[in-house]
Amino acid sequence: MTTARDIMHPGAQWIPANETLDRAAQLMRQLNVGALPIADSNERLCGILTDRDIVIGCVAMGHDPAQVTAGDMAKGTPRWIDAGSDVDMVLQEMQGHQIRRLPVIENKRLVGMISEADLAQHLSDEQIHAWVEQVYATP
């Protein structure tokens, strides 16, 4: 059985909810990623911050990214998957919620992220095709 741990990109990093968006953008550049999980004060997942969130939800709205925090951008219930979950569960979670990045949690701690690139490297063409149809479908 292939698990989330088998296909994830290990070494994902949290960004604290109280960290500013300019610092988040710098960390994204440093890590060469387009998304960061947001952690609350108890190091629990409270959201995902994307580069698009920073641009569309902050800069394009005329806000100062040095004054807006990652926590300000966290909306809704964050989705995640347990490291031991089967790949079919990963795909169901991502397809069901039309998300492109999924934090991987083990013992209540972040251990990795699954992105489109990870799926492309580990799944069959048929699985990728079905995933793309669901995630990019217009609701």
For the chain (139 residues), the mean pLDDT of every run of 10, in chain order, is 92 93 96 92 90 95 97 88 95 90 92 92 86 78
The tokens of 76 are what? Answer: 């809704």
pLDDT at 101: 92
User: CB of 44 within 8 A of CB of 108?
Assistant: yes
- Cα atoms in the Cβ-side hemisphere of radius 13 Å centred on 62: 0
One-letter amino acid identity for 128?
I
CA 57/CA 78 separation, integer angstroms? 17
Three-class secondary structure of residue 23 per DSSP: helix
Identify the CA nearest to 35 among candidates 44, 25, 45.
Answer: 25
Mean pLDDT rounded to a whole number for the chain? 91
- DSSP string over the chain: --BHHHHSEE----EETTSBHHHHHHHHHHHT-SEEEEE-TTS-EEEEEEHHHHHHHTGGGT--TTT-BHHHH--SPPP-EETTSBHHHHHHHHHHTT-S-EEEEETTEEEEEE-HHHHHHHS-HHHHHHHHHHHS---
What is the model's pLDDT at position 39? 92
pTM: 0.86
